[in-house]
Amino acid sequence: MAPLSHARHPDPPSPGDGSGTRTGFKWRIGTPVIGLLAGSIFVVSAVNSDADQGLRAGQVTDLASLVRSESAHVAQKQARANELTEEVDRLSASIDDDDVRTARGEAAAMEDPAGFREVSGQALTVVLADAPAELREGHPNINQLVVHQQDIQAVVNAMWAGGAEAIMIQGQRIISTTGIKCAGNSVELQGIPYPQPFVITAIGDPEAMQLEIDNDFAVSLYRADAANPDVQMGWEMDVDEFAIAPAYTGLRNLNYAQPLE
């Protein structure tokens, strides 16, 4: 941090120039008012800081700590949202109405393809990781040495194309509304940031999914960087004889459009 510069104080007012009258009175009145306003700001800041879940500057020393704190905070909010969703479901089930029962039956039939039920079976797992730290340090193009959201999306899309029944990233079930986006050097899923390495597991026919991955152009670019000794991006692909993809339990905030009449 650069040293603080000392502010130059104004010269004292000259006798008889009038600056010691109205100006002096304004300062005598204005100073307490400014002090009260500043105190109010400090109180508001102190109250708000109680809700930051340990993210104050003195408590967060690195990005990994920030990611863990943010993840815990979002997980807590999602758990509360899930409780409210379950309560709504219970209340809906108690409604004695034929139309409601029909709608609930239609919704239940869509739970499996929507990702709201557990799926198990053979699986294919791909692990993506940043290049080794010694290569990243001082590199002129650091973007070439880290995993990006498009790298993860390319693998996921190839798995879907290969007939995947369910896909998990970092153990989290993803569905059609799941967004994958970069957040610093982590990736955010359902509002929760996760650090690398990124583990992607898909339930389905491993051979069919591997064939799609091998033929995918975007994935081939990443694998070329993984094979390049000057880049060394992390890449692993393994077959799992049995894996479980849990049901999606995150928020179900769907946005949709309606056609104009």
- Both 150 and 208 in a single domain? yes
> Could you tell me the CATH number of the domain that includes residue 205?
3.30.70.1880
Residue spans of the chain under pLDDT 50 = 1-27, 29, 33, 36-37, 39-40, 42-61
The pLDDT tens digits of the residues spanning 193-223 come to 888 999 999 999 999 999 999 999 999 999 9
Give pLDDT, residue 151. 95
Q: Which domain holds residue 36?
A: 21-51
- The answer, as to whether pTM is greater than 0.85, is no
- Both 78 and 190 in a single domain? no
Give pLDDT, residue 74. 66
> For residue 10, is it within any domain?
no
Give pLDDT, residue 128. 97
Residue 13, CA distances (Å) to 23, 39, 115 in order: 10, 30, 76
Give pLDDT, residue 170. 93
> For residue 159, is it within any domain?
yes
- Both 67 and 162 in a single domain? no
Give the containing element (helix H, strand E) for 119.
Answer: strand 119-129
- Both 154 and 230 in a single domain? yes
Residues in a beta bridge with 199: 127
- Both 90 and 181 in a single domain? no
Sequence length of the chain is 261
Give pLDDT, residue 227. 96
Give pLDDT, residue 190. 76
- Both 211 and 128 in a single domain? yes
Q: Which two tokens stand for residue 33?
A: 């008012």
Give pLDDT, residue 125. 98
- Both 190 and 80 in a single domain? no
* Domain boundary residue, one of 91, 109, 127: 109
Give the angle 112-114-116 at the CA atoms, nearest 5°. Answer: 60
- Both 125 and 186 in a single domain? yes
Check if the beta carbon of residue 149 is closer than 8 Å to that of residue 182.
yes
Q: Is 19 helix (H, G, I), strand (E, B) or coil?
A: coil
- Both 131 and 46 in a single domain? no
When divided into structural domains, the chain yields a total of 3
Give pLDDT, residue 33. 46
Give pLDDT, residue 143. 83
> For residue 254, is it within any domain?
no
Give pLDDT, residue 95. 76
> For residue 8, is it within any domain?
no
> For residue 131, is it within any domain?
yes
- Both 41 and 74 in a single domain? no
> For residue 26, is it within any domain?
yes
- Both 68 and 105 in a single domain? yes
Name the CA dihedral angle for 16, 20, 22, 26, rounded to a multiple of 10 degrees.
170
> For residue 251, is it within any domain?
no
> For residue 255, is it within any domain?
no
- Both 99 and 161 in a single domain? no
